[in-house]
Amino acid sequence: MDFVKLEMDGALATITIDRPKALNALNRQVLSELSDAIGQVAANRSLRTLIVTGGGEKAFVAGADIAEMANFSNAEALAFCEQGHRVLDSLEALPIPVIAAVNGFALGGGCELALACDFIYASEKAKFGLPEVTLAVIPGFGGTQRLTRIVGRARAKEMIFSGDMIDAAKAREIGLALEVVPPAELIEKCKKLAANIAKRGPLAVAQAKRVIDAGADLKLGDANAIERDGFMKLFATADQKEGMAAFLAKRPAEFKNA
């Protein structure tokens, strides 16, 4: 892969969008490589967490590639949008937690990539925005929908109508970024959380993610039915027996992902 790096270190995978000369902008090749990397993560049962970040000093991802899009026909625009949606949907659907480590500009398609992760940790120099209207288009990789679900309709409209960037502190204030840390501490902060997640029951973490995501757009009663189903199913796992036996025996649990 030319522009996407996939590293696996024990239970942790890291995907780096690495095209710093174009501030890691997403063209069709980068999206295709990202799709391959996500497929490899999905196929590896020893992984417990994925971190997604940007290569170089300046950017997480500064958006979809404007040079590639500039002369798109309607059909090409739709195909590009569909490719972006497919790739980000597959990222969102991974059973393991995915942390966006936003180390710089996260604009347009880059902000949308971060929004498709489970949550965002940001460096103090991160900048977020959906500036598509400055190019006379709208977000096309899910930003109108995912941002709205995270920060609410009015904040999403403010960001999308104005095209303005917000800094990391503002992103935390509106619930877009969960944590803001000095740039040099960002990856360590994400790794620390990943190490904690790796100690928990893997099937339970995956079930929690499934239940939260599946219930998010449903009525509470229907969503709680999904929780009941997930809770019940975990009692057929060896890890549930081990987790509870270990607690009662006052010893650390050893989970087998089974």
Q: Which residues bind ligand CAA (CB under 6 A)?
A: 22-23, 25, 62-67, 84, 105, 107-109, 112, 131-132, 135, 139-141, 143
* Helical H segments across the chain, by residue range: 28-43, 66-69, 74-92, 109-115, 143-151, 153-162, 168-173, 186-199, 202-215, 220-234, 238-248
Q: Which residues are catalytic?
A: 112, 132
**Least Cβ distance, residue 36 to ligand CAA (angstroms):** 20
Of residues 13 and 25, the one with the C-beta less far from ligand CAA: 25
Phi, psi of 164 (to 5 degrees): -75, 150
The Cα–Cα gap between 97 and 189 comes to: 15
Of 61 and 194, which has the nearer Cβ to ligand CAA?
Answer: 61
**Helix, strand or coil, per DSSP, at residue 98:** strand
- Tell me the two tokens of residue 5: 């790096």
Q: β-strands 12-17, 59-61: how paired? A: unpaired
Give the contacts of 252 (CB within 8 A, at least 6 positions apart): 246
Query: Cβ 24 to ligand CAA, closest distance in Å?
Result: 8
In the complex, minimum distance from the CB of residue 59 to ligand CAA, in angstroms, rounded to a whole number = 7
Q: Which is nearer to ligand CAA, 55 or 109 (CB)?
A: 109
Of 73 and 232, nearer to ligand CAA (C-beta) is 73
Name the minimum Å distance from CB 258 to ligand CAA.
Answer: 40
